[in-house]
Chain A
Amino acid sequence: MAAFDEMRGLDGNVRPAYGFLADWLDGVSPDALEQRRREAELLFRRIGITFAVYGEAEAQERLIPFDVIPRVLAAPEWDLLQRGLEQRVKAINAYIADIYGAREILRAGVVPEELVFQNPVFRPEMNGQRVPHGLYVHIAGIDIVRVDAETFYVLEDNTRTPSGVSYMLENREIMLRLFPDLFARHRVAPVENYPDELLATLKSVAPSTASADPTVVLLTPGVFNSAYYEHSFLADKLGIELVEGRDLLVKGDIVYMRTTEGPKRVDVIYRRIDDDFLDPLAFRPDSALGVPGLMSAYRRGHVTLANAVGTGVADDKAVYSYMPAIVKFYLGEEPILKNVDTWRCRDPEGLAYTLDHLEELVVKEVHGSGGYGMLIGPKADKTTVAAFRDKLKADPKNFIAQPTLALSTVPTCVAAGIAPRHVDLRPFVLTGRDRIRIVPGGLTRVALEEGSLVVNSSQGGGTKDTWVLDR
């Protein structure tokens, strides 16, 4: 199937937002482009923007490949996305509050109970638990794809510890260094204020008992975590301490960090550790990454966790299929961003359809991530499909199926020159006590292999800078 190319559409005519870029790409020599590509790689390595891939024998530090050709969005496209994102995240927060509160949506039968209570990341500890200012998801990464000029689909909601924003920021810095001429010819909305927006958001959600200038920290699992670079990058840009579990202690249900001047109170923790590892006294007792007693402080309302504990109830792939209904239920509005058609294999009709059309569908694990454990029917050989069929029949509740979308493509540097490659977009939505803040664009992820639809960095995907053109 022909994919919608964001530069040349379906008919080959250059879309207005790409006008200048298309001309520029036609005129630039392959050598010049290659040289900038190499410069970018060198800069990434010297700055140390690397990550470790789990399961690799040597755990060498790798670079996420960066493609120097930007992805361009026109102002009206972004307006639509922005409104849709705000709506979606509002609904998500209302849903989570309801799930750990009155459960109206379950009573109304809109979402089946088992989906919630049998979800391994549902946290009974959060039942009836108040959170500061009633907010659960302060930082959301909503993955967006499109198949034509008008329609944007949400592919996935990430409401636990979404990552990638450091790449969004560093990509822009590097592009500014490499292509000042292009920036002079386009009015690209800046993204560099993301750290300010994030800090304002985090401070706004401090507990009401905190001081006028709340202390915010970023809690990281440490240097061996694959996303460590981003943790240190963000802490640096935010001007806050980067702490590990062992730097914090809880005394009298208040959280403190160990400083050279003695313990200092902490009010807001931007935590990049999963719920499971947060507190060995409340969750996994073998976790060396967490802070004993953190949940006690949290329950007493003495510290804010961003994102809250238990937000995973909103971001698995089964709940995803109910999102349009969820938006309608809490906001009384039609969803602005579409959902991809989804067949739930927990339902007999969904399972039957999926088994019948396995070669055409994309089948994903409900609790999977990183692009692992999924089947892309049209690309898989007969043996893989057969094996997957067995997996599916053995545990249907664990899977959902979606049609193979022809994701849009954007021109990308490849071995043979420049060619279209499939992309998605991850904008980051910040919800504070006062308002929702969204920095224009987000992280564009690109599948570097021809025809591949897998954009995840852990499986060889790359990234691009995303330009939202000001009017």
Chain B
Amino acid sequence: MLSRTADNIYWLARYVERAEYLARILEATQRLTALPLAYTGSTNEWESAVATAGCTGAFYKTYAEANEDTVTDFLAFSTVNPSSIRSCLEIARANARAVRTALTTEMWDVINGTWLDLKRFGSGPFTREELAQFLRWVQEESLRFDGSAYRTMLRNDAYWFSRLGLLIERADNTARILDVKYHLLLPPQQHVGGPLDYFQWAAILRSVSALTSYRWVYRESLKPWLVADLLILNDQMPRSLASCYENLVRFLDLIGRAYGRQGPPQRLARAIRTRLENSRMEDIFQKGVHEFIGDFIADNNRLGSAIAEQYLT
């Protein structure tokens, strides 16, 4: 297929995933800030949200202070921020329009419909209820898009590039959540923090829709080292780094087989997955969660570049 088409499909998937991720972050932050300070500690949660979205630099160019109004505006509705929910959906739709022939009717219908509906939301100001509704809507539309891709696309290279985009973005997003909150993710020996952090861990899990899953996997009350385990190493959990990489390797292999050759993307993905497979939480804590995640984010970006260089240009 045309490189540019593959590029558009790849980024279309990334932007839709990113929009959903931002919606989850904002929703989780809204919940957290609704709790009395005694339960959440003294962190500026809105500032954390911006950090989790990876936009701190850009944010402070536009706003002096991180609070509910400025952050929701910047992350959800801003036309100035290219990574706001609104911008993500606009770019996604533009990408989709550029490669309509590669999408199924259902996929186009969802993404175009989402874009048309987006206009109706206007630019605020929004009440908390309206914001909550908006965030719900974004997540639903993202699910519909993913679902329509999964259910209607032919299993060929177009589909696989779409999955690659989604997975790279998802891995990056999960890693960022962990990175911002790493100081909360403590090994079993340390008992500093205690009950105050419960709501923080719950918020992390909520933002990857894993709160209930946690209990089914571990059958225990929330423990920070298990939260870390769930999101990094557990391959049952669809948003975990391990799960993302298992699938990245799989789809890159399918592409490699279809095209009759393997390259740097396949090798790199396998290397990263192997590292995850061979890791144990004890070792990660020893090295330091923050360092581990930092390395992972860099590797993930490297894989993105390798894919772009091999296939998308």
User: Which residues in A have some Cβ–Cβ distance to B below 8 Å?
Assistant: 45-46, 48, 222-223, 232, 235-236, 241-244, 246-247, 257-261
Query: Is B1 positioned at the interface, with any CB of A under 8 Å from its CB?
Result: yes
Query: Is B157 positioned at the interface, with any CB of A under 8 Å from its CB?
Result: yes
- By a CB distance below 8 angstroms, the chain B residues around A241 are 1-2, 5
Name which residue of chain B comes closest to A263, CB basis: B3
- By a CB distance below 8 angstroms, the chain B residues around A247 are 2-4
- By a CB distance below 8 angstroms, the chain B residues around A45 are 116
Query: Is B127 positioned at the interface, with any CB of A under 8 Å from its CB?
Result: no
Q: List 6 A-B contacts (CB under 8 A).
A: A48-B112, A232-B100, A242-B2, A244-B4, A260-B1, A260-B3
In contact, A242 and B6 (Cβ under 8 angstroms): no
Name which residue of chain B comes closest to A223, CB basis: B98
In contact, B101 and A46 (Cβ under 8 angstroms): no
In contact, A261 and B259 (Cβ under 8 angstroms): yes
- By a CB distance below 8 angstroms, the chain A residues around B311 are 260
Query: Is B91 positioned at the interface, with any CB of A under 8 Å from its CB?
Result: no
Other-chain contact of A242, B101, B116, B259 (Cβ < 8 Å): B101
- By a CB distance below 8 angstroms, the chain A residues around B94 are 223
- By a CB distance below 8 angstroms, the chain B residues around A258 are 2-4, 313
Query: Is B41 positioned at the interface, with any CB of A under 8 Å from its CB?
Result: no
CB distance from A250 to the nearest CB of B (A): 16
Name which residue of chain B comes closest to A45, CB basis: B116
Evaluate whether A235 and B101 lie within 8 angstroms (CB atoms) in the complex, with A46-B113, A48-B108, A261-B259 already known: yes
CB distance from A262 to the nearest CB of B (A): 9
The CA of A59 and the CA of B3, in the complex, are separated in Å by: 28
In contact, A260 and B101 (Cβ under 8 angstroms): no
In contact, A232 and B101 (Cβ under 8 angstroms): yes
Q: Could you say which of B2, B3, B157, B255 has the most chain A C-beta atoms within 10 Å of its C-beta? A: B2
The CA of A231 and the CA of B5, in the complex, are separated in Å by: 15
The CA of A48 and the CA of B116, in the complex, are separated in Å by: 10
User: Which residues in B have some Cβ–Cβ distance to A below 8 Å?
Assistant: 1-6, 94, 97-101, 108-109, 112-113, 116, 157, 161, 255, 259, 311-313
In contact, B2 and A259 (Cβ under 8 angstroms): yes
The CA of A259 and the CA of B113, in the complex, are separated in Å by: 30
In contact, B112 and A260 (Cβ under 8 angstroms): no
Q: Which 3 pairs, one residue from A and one from B, show the smallest C-beta to C-beta distance?
A: A236-B101, A260-B311, A258-B3
- By a CB distance below 8 angstroms, the chain B residues around A232 are 97, 100-101
Other-chain contact of B97, A223, A236, A246 (Cβ < 8 Å): A223
SS class, residues of chain B in contact with chain A: helix
- By a CB distance below 8 angstroms, the chain B residues around A223 are 94, 97-98
The CA of A261 and the CA of B156, in the complex, are separated in Å by: 13
- By a CB distance below 8 angstroms, the chain A residues around B4 are 244, 246-247, 258
The CA of A236 and the CA of B99, in the complex, are separated in Å by: 10
In contact, A243 and B2 (Cβ under 8 angstroms): yes
The CA of A257 and the CA of B99, in the complex, are separated in Å by: 16
The CA of A232 and the CA of B96, in the complex, are separated in Å by: 11
The CA of A232 and the CA of B95, in the complex, are separated in Å by: 13
- By a CB distance below 8 angstroms, the chain B residues around A259 are 1-3
Evaluate whether A48 and B101 lie within 8 angstroms (CB atoms) in the complex, with A244-B4, A247-B4 already known: no
- By a CB distance below 8 angstroms, the chain A residues around B116 are 45-46
- By a CB distance below 8 angstroms, the chain A residues around B1 are 241, 259-260
Name which residue of chain B comes closest to A236, CB basis: B101
Q: Could you say which of A236, A247, A261 has the most chain B C-beta atoms within 10 Å of its C-beta? A: A261
The CA of A292 and the CA of B116, in the complex, are separated in Å by: 38
The CA of A48 and the CA of B313, in the complex, are separated in Å by: 28
The CA of A260 and the CA of B310, in the complex, are separated in Å by: 8
The CA of A244 and the CA of B101, in the complex, are separated in Å by: 14
Name which residue of chain A comes closest to B95, CB basis: A223
Q: Could you say which of B4, B99, B157 has the most chain A C-beta atoms within 10 Å of its C-beta? A: B4
Evaluate whether A257 and B2 lie within 8 angstroms (CB atoms) in the complex, with A46-B112, A48-B97, A223-B98 already known: yes
Evaluate whether A260 and B97 lie within 8 angstroms (CB atoms) in the complex, with A48-B112, A243-B2 already known: no
The CA of A274 and the CA of B94, in the complex, are separated in Å by: 24
CB distance from B308 to the nearest CB of A (A): 11
CB distance from B89 to the nearest CB of A (A): 15
- By a CB distance below 8 angstroms, the chain A residues around B255 are 260
Q: Could you say which of B101, B108, B311 has the most chain A C-beta atoms within 10 Å of its C-beta? A: B101
- By a CB distance below 8 angstroms, the chain A residues around B101 are 232, 235-236, 242
- By a CB distance below 8 angstroms, the chain B residues around A48 are 97, 100, 108, 112
- By a CB distance below 8 angstroms, the chain A residues around B109 are 46
Q: Could you say which of A235, A244, A260 has the most chain B C-beta atoms within 10 Å of its C-beta? A: A260
Name which residue of chain B comes closest to A261, CB basis: B259
The CA of A241 and the CA of B3, in the complex, are separated in Å by: 11
The CA of A246 and the CA of B7, in the complex, are separated in Å by: 13
Name which residue of chain A comes closest to B3, CB basis: A258
The CA of A390 and the CA of B23, in the complex, are separated in Å by: 62
The CA of A222 and the CA of B95, in the complex, are separated in Å by: 12
